[in-house]
Amino acid sequence: MTRPQSYLWPDLSLLFAATMWGIFWYPLRLFESAGMPAIWVTLIAFLAASAVGLILTAGRWREYFKKPKTLTIIALTAGWCNAGFLVAVVEGNVIRVILLFYLSPIWTVILGHFILKEVIPFKAFIIFMVAFIGAMIMLWEPSIGLPWPQGLADWLAISAGFSFALSNVLIRSLQSVSIPVKTTSTWLGCIVIAFFWVVFAQVDIPEIAPATWTYSVLLGLFGIVFMSLSVQYGITHMPVYRSAIILLSEVIVTAVSAYWLASETLNLREWTGGILVGVSALMIASLSKQNE
């Protein structure tokens, strides 16, 4: 008899990552209040993480040239995902941002159909429609009557979720490159996106205390690195549907922390749409389980 596979450590790894990402918005706001914009925190933190990544992949440098075009797209899409998400949670209502970001499982199914040629089951199409309706309810603006993103934070959250889905689909298609190299590439991509964001948005170098710069480096070394490695370990050692469900616990952590630390909440309409989005993500994950 085959012993059932234990997912204890992968489960704990993903729960750790989801918890960390769920409260990651708070230190970003502390940096903002100290005079350091989120995009500058992003740039410095990912510079620190990338330094670690390049050291870890020093013996694998040839892998960066195996599929340079695909790896570049992965880097840039993941870069936009991280930079956009981190700025969005500072600029907007963090619960609303995280719910709009978690349209990503739906985007993954659609992109998997066009890029990986995966068949979209009829159930998946129905689930997509439920998620779409949920998003429209969240985005509905009574004063103008249009379901449209309300400002920069909404646009960033939706585009970050789409970029997250696209990078994941491309990562799944790129089996000849190791996880450390792909992870480091995403960190490097975030540096590129954050740098051009700073330049074109003309975000000046913040005049802050030296300790604040140090804290942003430590955030990259002990935040970004450990969260990213925890996610990679978890999703590598368990089925996709299981990791998707566990990572959704980030929504709960975010909602609790936002209410407790910033007194942020959503109105009834936004909660209704958000619940539809969350249920759709769970249904997509369950559908993946049935198809394995």
Which of 6-10, 228-232, 236-240 is predicted least confidently?
236-240
Answer whether residue 136 is part of any domain: yes
Considering the entire predicted model, what is its pTM? 0.85
CA 36 – CA 260 distance, rounded (Å): 23
Work out the widest C-alpha separation in the chain, in whole angstroms: 65
Answer whether residue 2 is part of any domain: no
Answer whether residue 3 is part of any domain: no
Q: Is the pLDDT of residue 3 over 50?
A: no
Domain range for residue 239? 8-291
23-45 b/e (C-beta count within 10 Å ≥ 16 → b): bbbbebeebbeeebbbbbbbbbb
Answer whether residue 1 is part of any domain: no
Q: If pLDDT is split at 50, 70 and 90, which confidence band does 231 have?
A: confident
Judging by beta carbons within 10 Å of its beta carbon (0-12, 13-18, 19+), is residue 201 exposed, middle or buried? exposed
Answer whether residue 87 is part of any domain: yes
What does the pLDDT look like over 141-158, one tens digit per residue?
A: 766 556 678 889 999 999
Give the number of domains in the chain: 1
